[in-house]
Amino acid sequence: MAEGDFAGRRPRLVAGADWSVGLNAPTSLSHARLLLDLGQRLRPAYDDIVSEPVPEHLARIVQRLDGQPNCR
């Protein structure tokens, strides 16, 4: 953008956005706890999913992609 693109206009503020809120915010600890709890609940489901064998139709696709450049 050229310097003159904003000439005479004020920057627009996003309603409800408080950019000063970060890791020091009172809710950040509760968010961290929530994310920790969520991660602990999702881990067993993820482990179950990755322990299952890949279905044959997907295995064929993966085999084709393995031979393609830029697919790693």
What DSSP assignment string belongs to 4-57?
Answer: GGGTT-PPPPPTT--TT-STTSHHHHHHHHHHHHHHHHHHHHHHHHHHSPPPHH
Range of the domain at 54: 28-72
For the chain, the domain total comes to 1
Assigned domain for 33 exists: yes
Structural domain contains residue 44: yes
Residue 17 lies inside a defined structural domain of this protein = no
Mean pLDDT of all residues belonging to the chain: 75
Give 28-62 pLDDT, tens digit per residue.
778 888 889 999 999 999 999 889 888 899 989 98
Read off the pLDDT band of 13 (50, 70, 90): low
In a domain, 64, yes or no: yes
Does the pLDDT of residue 20 top 70, yes or no?
A: no
